[in-house]
Amino acid sequence: MTDIVIYHNPACGTSRNTLALIRNSGIEPHVIEYLKCPPTRALLAEMIERAGMRPRDLLREKGTPYADLGLGDEALSDDALLDAMMDHPVLINRPLVVTPLGVKLCRPSEAVLDILPDPQLGAFAKEDGEVVVDASGRRPA
C-alpha cells in the first residue's frame, strides 16, 4: 500500500481534480483539509524544502490577505512568509501532495502524475472536460 498525503481544499477544482487523479491510480490517500488542520510550521518548511521550493513559491494571492499583509514585499524573509502562512493557512497554495517519490504543488492538477508511484488505471478528464489521461492510462500526446 502506497502512503500518499494530499493537503486539500474541497472548494478548489484543482485540488478536487488532483485528488481524483490519485484515486484513479488505485490509491486512497490521506486527505488533510489544511484549512481545518494546517501543517505545523516545521512540517510546512520541510515540505517546501523537499519540493525544491521557497516559501514565496507556495504563497497563494487570490482570495487571501496576501495584499493586505504586504506579502508582495520581496524584502520579507522566508521566516516571515512561513509565519504569515501559519497565521493565515489560506495563504498556503494547494494542493500540496506528498508521495514516496517527492513533494509537489500540483498546479495544474496533472502535475501529480509526476510523483505518483502507480500508473493510472484508466481514462481521466478534469471537471472542465479536459482529458489528461487516455483509456490506456497514459497522458495524451
Where does the pLDDT of residue 2 fall: very low under 50, low under 70, confident under 90, or very high at 90 and above?
A: confident
Q: End-to-end CA distance of the chain, in Å? A: 30
User: Over the range 51-69, which residues count as b (16 or more CB within 10 Å of their CB) and which as e?
Assistant: bebebeebbbeeebebeeb
Q: What is the pLDDT of residues 14-60, one digit of tens each?
A: 999 999 999 999 999 999 999 999 999 999 999 999 999 999 999 99
Q: What is the pLDDT of residues 72-128, one digit of tens each?
A: 999 999 999 999 999 999 999 999 999 999 999 999 999 999 999 999 999 999 999
In whole numbers, what is the pLDDT of the chain averaged over residues? Answer: 96
pLDDT of residue 7 exceeding 80, the answer is yes
Tell me, what's the pLDDT at 1? 59
Percent of the chain residues past pLDDT 70, beyond the cut: 99
- Nearest Cα neighbor of 32 from 89, 83, 87 is 89
Query: Do 57 and 109 meet the contact criterion of CB atoms below 8 Å apart?
Result: no
Report the alpha-carbon distance of residue 15 to residue 106 in Å, rounded: 8
Catalytic site residue from 4, 6, 12, 82: 12
Domain spanning 5-133: CATH superfamily: Glutaredoxin (3.40.30.10)
User: What is the 8-class DSSP label of residue 86?
Assistant: H
Place of cell 513559491: 57
- CA Rg value for the chain: 16
Catalytic status, residue 37: no
Where does the pLDDT of residue 141 fall: very low under 50, low under 70, confident under 90, or very high at 90 and above?
A: confident
Global pTM value: 0.95
